[in-house]
Amino acid sequence: MLRLVNLAVIGVLVLAAAWLYEIKYSSTRQAEQVAKLRLEIRRERDAIAALRAEWAQLDNPDRIQILARRHLTLKPIEATQFDSLDRLPEKPIDIVPPGTTDPIGALIEHMVDPEVVTGGVPDREASQ
Amino acid sequence: MSKILLTKAVAARMAEPWRRRFTRRMLYGRNVDRGATAKGRVGLAIAAFAVVYAIVALRLVIFAVAPESHAARRSGSQDAVATARPDILDRNAQILATDVRMPSLFGEPRKIIDVDEATELLTAVLPDLDGAEVRERLGSKRGFVWLKREIKPQQQQQIHRLGIPGIGFLPENKRVYPNGAEVSHLIGLVNIDNQGIAGIEKWLDGRGLADLHRAGFASDRQQTPIELAVDLRVQHALRDELIAAADKYKAKAAAGLVVDVNTGEIISMVSVPDYDPNNPREANDPTRINRLTTGVFELGSTFKALTVAMALDSGKVTLNSSFDARVPLRYGRFNIHDYHAQRRILTVPEIFTYSSNIGTARMALSLGVEHHRWFLKKVGQLDRLRTELPESAEPLVPKRWGELNTVTIAFGHGLSVAPLQAVMGINALVNGGYLIPPTFMRRTEQEARALATQVVKPETSEKMRYLMRLNAEKGTASKADVKGYYVGGKTGTSEKVVGGRYSKTKLLNTFTAIMPADKPRYQLLIILDEPQPLKETFGFATSGWNAAPTAGKVIARIAPLLGLEPRFELPPAERLILARGG
């Protein structure tokens, strides 16, 4: 009886040791992974900082101004070029009603005025 | 159980011969039960060992829970010798200063085998390295020597490939200023160890960053960036125009300032010639000082705005009051003349627009010396103005303030103040009477109100706005009037003191503009140091001919950036003054 218990305890001990080893090993691996990722993050951050610095350098208004003078025909904006929205003219009326399937047909229909019959047409028909 | 043991012991004692019993009594004492004592001792030993093992187990758990604290400390000391600083951003989150990690080259002389070979190889890759110095450093007995701080990544690669033993790299944080000289005087610069030595950078250190550095905590870049009130676009436009103006009028120096009238935020501050903070050697040149905060100047007629406001605020003078400007004002051996002499009795608006020295002097005299001094003290012109910038200058106030001082100070001579200080004072005259200390940090209008002190009445402030506007419409400031932005302004031409006398040719010209004048949002100050007369200016070198047109150009450029809406339907200022009944 006692021997059986002893054997069982030894078995459990071995299993526990193996389990502990496994845990310890995987935790070490994960710690290494964490350290690696940390390093990577720091490198990325440094790279981002360097790129942002470079971007800011390229974005420097002094440089942009020189480039714009050399390559563009644009000129500084003047006060008279601003206007308020309520002074915009009305939007022209839509000739083609929205949602038509045949926009060209609608356009022709709009051009042909049904009420006004030109005087010449029936006359010409009468003369023939 | 114990009973059995006891009886057993008694039985054993009975069985013992008397001599042995005697020795035992001698050794352990009478009636001592050895078995019980032994049991107690074993129990004690078990407890002691249990405690030891518990401690061991606890330590193991602690190590398991925090396994990397040690490793982290080691790696932390390895990188970033020069500590990290927070980024500095402008109000639109454009980068003004940031940290970039750069490798630095060091040597360990004890590990170097051939000093001459190492020196030769290194100087081949880094031509600007002094060969003799490197040889001396590597030949020393020290364990660690810096060879070159902040080398390029390509150079690091090349040196790495050379494979010299005893040569290594340490990554260091290097401060870079992507905008070069654009914001130099404002943000200042750092030394090779990333410690701020001027401007906002120094202020940052003063706020506890230096202590963090010393404790070794500030090596990471995870610090919240500092957001300044400056607008890089406005800064550029102002600087560009100032450089052009200094060039055109052959001025020794030029400076400009844009301030938010209602919050005291400094939107832009330029003082040319300036320096590139990436090249710290330039910064020590005394001609490149920041004229707006470290210099004090007699600001000339710009001060008349303060005098007129004082007079209007006292209630004794109204816009319809008039002062005699027919003859020059004789005071002791001094004769006060008018530059734009009218030789008649002038009303207050006329005194302001013709910039009459005689008129303002008489105005100040009518209120008395003490009142004048008290008012200037109230609007902050007599005390040193401190901002975030470590550099500041004390105004030069006359020790004995007599009537003559009041006469001259009324039109801006005899009292030297830092231009930023004058801007703060004039801000108070036009923003409804609130004296707000200027700041380089972001600030809301509510925060500014909480800091502000009311120095003049809101009605006085309103009158001052229209006087400034009137000046731009028909006075000396007309060349700064950009159509659509309703600019108001005041010119100032002061003669510099050369050898104890006022010079007629060495001038310091200033121009103060407010925009829009009916409800000011921004104030602009332009300073030109010793501008020369030109053919185009018909031989004049006064402020209205150079500082005012420069201000006009600046306003045309920065007003759209500042979000000012052009309006063309506003009535002329004269009508507005009349409508308010003077």
Among residues B87, B559, B393, the alpha carbon closest in space to that of A48 is found at B87
User: pLDDT band for position B580 (50/70/90)?
Assistant: low
Nearest-by-CA chain A residue for B568? A80
Please report, for residues A38, A81, B131, B222, the alpha-carbon distance to residue B83 in angstroms, rounded to integers and kept in the order given.
19, 49, 29, 12
The per-residue pLDDT for B215 is: 62
Between chain A and chain B, the number of residue pairs with CB atoms below 8 A apart is 75
Mean pLDDT value across residues B70-86: 55
Task: Please report the beta strands in B390-486, taking only residues with DSSP state E, as ranges in sequence order.
Answer: 416-417, 434-435, 453-454
Task: Look up the ipTM and state it.
Answer: 0.71
What is the average pLDDT score of chain A?
83
Instruction: Assess contact for B170 and B78: CB atoms under 8 A.
Output: yes
Whether A117 has a pLDDT exceeding 70, the answer reads no
Residue B581: pLDDT over 50: no
Contact call for residues B185 and B271 (beta carbons, < 8 A) = yes
Q: In sequence order, what are the residues at sequence separation of 6 or more whose Cβ sits closer than 8 angstroms to the Cβ of residue B438?
A: B259, B264, B265, B266, B385, B387, B420, B423, B424, B427
Least confident of B70-84, B257-271, B455-469: B70-84
Disruptive mutation site among B63, B69, B94, B223 for chain A (greatest number of A CBs within 10 Å): B94
Q: How far apart are CA B206 and CA B196, in angstroms?
A: 9
Nearest-CB residue to B236 (from A31, A35, A62)? A62
B193-210: average pLDDT: 81
Q: What is the pLDDT of residue B550?
A: 93
Tell me whether strands B453-454 and B488-498 are parallel, antiparallel or unpaired: unpaired
Among B522, B518, B520, B523, CA closest to B580: B518
Tokens 């002499």 identify what position? B341
Q: What is the pTM of this model?
A: 0.75
> pLDDT, tens digit, for every residue of A8-29?
999 999 999 999 999 999 999 9
Condensed to tens digits (0 to 9), the pLDDT of residues B418-436 reads: 999 999 999 999 998 999 9
Segments making up each domain of chain A, as ranges: 2-71
Mean pLDDT within B558-576: 82
Nearest to A79 among B64, B71, B482 (CB): B482
Which of A23, A60, A65, A69 should be substituted to probe chain B, the one whose Cβ sees the most B Cβ atoms within 10 Å?
A60
Report pLDDT for A122.
53
Residues 6+ apart with CB under 8 A from B509: B300, B491, B492, B493, B494, B527, B528, B531, B541, B542, B543, B546, B547
Over the range B238-247, which residues count as b (16 or more CB within 10 Å of their CB) and which as e?
bbbbbbebbe
CB neighbours of residue B295 within 10 Å = 21
Q: What is the mean predicted confidence (pLDDT) over B381-409?
A: 86
- The winner for highest mean pLDDT among A8-17, B142-151, B541-550, B565-574 is A8-17
Q: Which DSSP string corresponds to B457-480?
A: -HHHHHHHHHHHHHHHHHSTTGGG
Among A30-39, A70-79, B26-35, B149-158, the minimum mean pLDDT is found in B26-35
| B399 vs B500, more confident | B399
* Rounded alpha-carbon distances, angstroms, from residue B469 to B225, B466, B488, B516: 40, 5, 4, 9
* Angle value at C-alpha B117, between B113 and B122, nearest 5 degrees: 110
Superfamily of domain B234-579: DD-peptidase/beta-lactamase superfamily (3.40.710.10)
**How confident is the model at residue B213, as a pLDDT?**
63
B298/B320 Cα distance (integer angstroms)? 29
The confidence band for A93, taking pLDDT boundaries of 50, 70 and 90, is confident
Residue B83 has a pLDDT of 67
Q: Is B80-227 in CATH node 3.40.190.10?
A: no
Q: Does position B81 have pLDDT exceeding 90, yes or no?
A: no
Per-residue pLDDT reduced to its tens digit, B14-62:
666 788 778 877 777 767 677 888 888 999 999 999 999 999 999 988 8
For position A70, what pLDDT does the model report?
A: 92
- Asked if B451 and B436 count as a contact pair (C-beta separation under 8 A), the reply is yes
User: How many whole angstroms separate alpha carbon B243 and alpha carbon B247?
Assistant: 6
Within 172-191 of B, beta carbons closer than 8 Å to A belong to 176, 178-180, 182
Name the band, by pLDDT with cuts 50, 70 and 90, for residue B76: very low
pLDDT, residue B242, reads: 94
| Residue, of B53 and A125, whose pLDDT is higher | B53
Mean pLDDT of B447-475: 89
Is the pLDDT score of B221 beyond 60? no
Q: How far is the C-alpha of B229 from the C-alpha of B262, rounded, in Å?
A: 13
Q: Which amino acid is at B275?
A: Y
Which among A45, A61, A80 has CB closest to B233? A61
| Summary mean pLDDT of chain B | 84
| Cβ-Cβ contacts under 8 Å, B100 against chain A | 46, 49-50, 53
CA B485, CA A77: separation in Å to the nearest integer? 13
pLDDT at residue B73, as a whole number = 47
**Mean pLDDT along residues B527-538:** 83
The bridge status of strand B88-89 relative to strand B95-107 is antiparallel
> Which one from B184, B271, B301, B461 is the annotated catalytic residue?
B301
Instruction: Please state the separation of Cα B274 from the chain's center in Å.
Output: 15
Q: Which residues of B touch A44 (CB under 8 A)?
A: none
**Residue A57 to residue A48: CA distance in whole angstroms:** 14
